[in-house]
């Protein structure tokens, strides 16, 4: 079994989402020894954001007369898609920044969302091509949003990830959430303890 471990927070050791992804992957490998883990740090090596020029290459795959930098970007994109599709379990560290995602994670999504590889268009609408893998989202939030009246209006983090993954055909999605982590040391500790319990339960259910 292959695990793809993705971090996107630029906060290094201060990052809650990084703590969660590390705990999840550690628990998975302890429960199932011998798994192959590939690590991708999007804060350390972020894919460049799409520009008009890059979209012609990596989204529309205009392959005529590519210059060296364009060929490099196309190779980078193909490698990220290959990496995602090769994984049986994908663990994504996704902190909430201003009700959304870190831009580094959005840049990765823009690369992996590839017509003909992770989805395709048909006469009846888009069809996901990337099912058959499990995605675990390690969600970190400074405030409290889950179950709150304004959650639907402000959550462009977990909701967006679920929407994109569903568009790719991924339906086996689990969320390990630690929220309220900016509301003081006690709230942070409580959130992390609850997340650790959820991780243990999740890994146990994977058999």
What's the CA gap between 96 and 16, in Å, rounded?
11
Handedness of CA 194, 96, 16, 142 (dihedral sign): negative
What's the CA gap between 58 and 66, in Å, rounded?
11
Nearest in space to 179 (alpha carbons), one of 136, 148, 135? 148
What's the CA gap between 177 and 130, in Å, rounded?
24
25 assigned ligand-binding residue: no
Say if strands 119-122 and 125-128 run parallel, antiparallel, or are unpaired: antiparallel
Q: Which residue intervals of the chain are DSSP H helices? A: 16-31, 52-54, 68-86, 103-112, 151-154, 158-167, 185-205
Nearest in space to 178 (alpha carbons), one of 140, 146, 151, 138? 140
Helix 68-86 with 103-112: angle, nearest 10 deg = 90
CA 79 to chain centre: 16
15 assigned ligand-binding residue: yes
17 assigned ligand-binding residue: yes
99 assigned ligand-binding residue: yes
Question: Which residues are part of a known binding site?
Answer: 9, 15-17, 96-99
Question: Which residues are part of a known binding site for FMN?
Answer: 9, 15-17, 96-99
């Amino acid at each position: 079994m292959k695990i793809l471990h993705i971090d996107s927070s630029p906060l290094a050791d201060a990052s809650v989402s990084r703590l969660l992804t590390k705990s999840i992957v550690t628990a998975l490998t302890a429960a199932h020894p011998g798994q192959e883990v590939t690590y991708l740090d999007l804060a350390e090596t972020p894919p460049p954001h799409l520009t008009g020029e890059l979209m012609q290459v990596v989204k529309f795959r205009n392959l005529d007369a590519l210059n060296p930098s364009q060929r490099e970007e196309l190779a980078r994109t193909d490698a990220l898609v290959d990496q995602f599709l090769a994984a049986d379990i994908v663990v994504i560290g996704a902190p909430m920044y201003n009700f959304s995602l870190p831009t580094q994670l959005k840049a990765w999504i823009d690369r992996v969302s590839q017509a003909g590889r992770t989805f395709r268009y048909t006469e009846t609408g888009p069809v996901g091509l990337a099912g058959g893998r499990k995605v675990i989202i390690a969600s970190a939030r400074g405030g409290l949003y889950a179950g709150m009246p304004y959650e639907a209006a402000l959550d462009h983090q977990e909701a967006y990830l679920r929407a994109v993954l569903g568009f790719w055909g991924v339906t086996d999605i689990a969320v390990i959430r630690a929220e309220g982590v900016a509301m003081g040391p006690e709230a942070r500790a409580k959130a992390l303890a609850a997340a650790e319990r959820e991780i243990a339960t999740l890994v146990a259910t994977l058999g």
